[in-house]
């Protein structure tokens, strides 16, 4: 984990977490192929009883690919404590109807993130989105 990620993780574990808590979490999972434990901060929005993460520049990131297909275990550092959930990647190009409400929830919480989806219609933006949907259990 890089220095910036360690700083964010440390802040989210401290009493100062309220500075970032509510929009930034830390995810922790075991790599599907590598078997390595991975920890990284992300921005999130609540969706029902779960969490949705919009993957920024998904073509340059690999972590979300661990959650393609069926749901897998993940832990999220939320409000200063680790919460066990299951997560599944939703690729808008493959599942636009599943992606749309998740993206809407995310953009309601983090409206500036729409810039990462590029220009075009709402349908085109949904098709460009990659989201990770985390649910209790």
Q: How high is the pLDDT of residue 23?
A: 73
Residue 41 pairs with which residues in a beta bridge?
A: 26
Greatest CA separation for the chain: 42
**CATH number of the domain where residue 12 is located:** 2.30.110.10
pLDDT tens profile 32-51 = 999 999 999 999 999 999 99
Q: How far is CA 84 from the centre of its chain?
A: 14
Token pair for residue 61?
Answer: 């990131």
- What does pLDDT average to over the chain? 88
Query: How far apart (Å, rounded) are the C-alpha atoms in residues 63 and 113?
Result: 19
pLDDT > 90 fraction of the chain, expressed in percent and rounded: 80
Question: For residue 11, what are its two tokens?
Answer: 């802040």
pTM of the predicted protein model: 0.84
- Whole-angstrom CA distances from 16 to 43, 79, 102 are 17, 11, 29
Number of domains in the chain: 1
Residue 123 belongs to domain spanning? 3-136
14 has pLDDT over 80: no
pLDDT value of residue 112:
93
| Of the candidates 97, 98, 91, the residue with the CA atom closest to the CA atom of residue 128 | 91
In whole angstroms, give the CA distance from residue 135 to residue 34.
Answer: 24
Average pLDDT over residues 57-75: 95
Say if CB 64 and CB 105 are below 8 A apart.
no
């Amino acid at each position: 984990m890089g220095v910036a990620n360690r700083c964010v993780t440390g802040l989210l574990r401290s009493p100062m977490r309220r500075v970032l808590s509510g929009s930034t979490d830390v995810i922790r999972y075991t790599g599907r192929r590598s078997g390595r434990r991975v920890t990284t901060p992300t921005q999130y929005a609540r969706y029902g009883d779960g969490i949705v993460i919009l993957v920024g520049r998904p073509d340059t990131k690999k972590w979300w690919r661990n959650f393609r297909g069926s749901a897998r275990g993940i832990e999220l550092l939320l409000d200063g404590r680790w919460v066990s959930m299951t997560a599944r990647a939703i690729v808008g190009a493959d599942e636009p109807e599943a992606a749309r409400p998740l993206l809407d929830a995310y953009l309601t919480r983090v409206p500036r993130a729409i810039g990462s989806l590029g220009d075009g219609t709402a349908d085109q933006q949904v098709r460009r989105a990659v989201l990770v949907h985390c649910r209790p259990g």
